[in-house]
Amino acid sequence: MSDSLTVHLGQRSYPITFGASLTVAVRAQVAALSAEGRQLAVVTDAQVARVQAETLRAWFGPVPVLPVAAGETSKSLETLGQVWDFLAEHKIGRSDAVFAVGGGVIGDLAGFAAASYLRGIVCYQVPTTLLAMVDSSVGGKTGINLKAGKNLVGAFHQPGGVFVSTDLLTTLPPREFAAGCAEVIKAGLLGDLELFDRLARRSLTVASADLAAVIRRCCALKARVVEVDEFETAREGGRALLNLGHTFGHAIEQVTGYGTYLHGEAVAIGLCAAARLSQKLGLISAAEVARVEAVVSAHGLPVCLRTPLPLAELTSAMARDKKVRAGRLRFVLLKSLGEAVTRDDIDPALAEACFREVGAV
């Protein structure tokens, strides 16, 4: 059994298909494309290629597969070049398609390769991690990292479709599942108080009876946001709200070289820092900050840095963030639990104080 929801973007609209196992749905998509004479290619990572080898064969048969190194460091110019060369080697043309099978790194990398190869070919997203299922596979943001910062090169490139097969999560390492929970918590904080309250009552686990419903709820929330601000051009609010926790989190990732913290772990610390900043601005109470931190901690995520990081390096990384506009950094804050706002008038000293409170020195 499967169901779907549509991201409504006019000619760029696409379905998100949900199910415990989507072998039938993915094979049907592959067969339909092949029947039209389209060539296909799969980009995944080495870990997924090993753990999900039988699934990949069942879904794609003889379609060529490129496994890249697992981890954030693959969101690089070097690996992007490998994907381009792979597509060219297999004579992928303008009417052909790529399937991105993996976590957020693979979705971003393969999505950007598809956006730029031959000036744009179709990419289907098949997320294999909780984080990718609830967030990065939906919305069309693709990109790679530079030494100067995260996601500084990329493109908006909506997928041809998204396939969320929750059975894939049974082999996901616990740390990776926890990292995905950070994006679920974020979704609740920025626009779904009922979801946040549910997470506060009991932690989300791979065995949760409502796991599929929670994933679908997060996708529906993101779809609504993307539909009204696809290219993140709104002067206030809009798609930028989805960056709650990320301004702090991206700085942590950049300073630690994209290897110490998983993306969701850095975002978790960022959520706690953003909550503290919101409290300093009088938007939420200290008790609400404590509630945010309690939910983050209950999901096996850090609320502060494991080891101290230099404040100067963190603030420098933050200043290079792609959310800087006209020299002013835009923060996403909590107007209340379940409602977020954007602000670009924040005293840098307040942000620095929040970084110190989560472990910067």
Q: Looking at the annotation, which residues are catalytic? A: 119, 141, 183, 222, 236, 239, 243, 246, 250, 263
Amino acid identity at 206: V
The dihedral formed by the CA atoms of 78, 109, 75 and 232, expressed in degrees to the nearest 10: 130
Q: Are the CB atoms for 160 and 26 separated by under 8 Å?
A: no
314: left (phi over 0), alpha (psi -120 to 50) or beta: alpha
**Is residue 40 classed as helix, strand or coil in its secondary structure?**
strand
Q: Which residue has the tokens 């029947």?
A: 35
Amino acid identity at 214: V
Q: Are the CB atoms for 52 and 60 separated by under 8 Å?
A: no
**Is residue 198 classed as helix, strand or coil in its secondary structure?**
helix
Q: Which long-range contacts (CB under 8 A, 24 or more apart) does 326-330 make?
A: 329/247, 330/240, 330/247
Q: Are the CB atoms for 167 and 251 separated by under 8 Å?
A: no
Token pair of 102, please? 């993996």
Token pair of 221, please? 């929330």
Q: Which residues, listed in sequence order, are joined to residue 98 by a DSSP beta bridge?
A: 41, 123
Q: Are the CB atoms for 329 and 349 separated by under 8 Å?
A: no
Token pair of 345, please? 């008038």
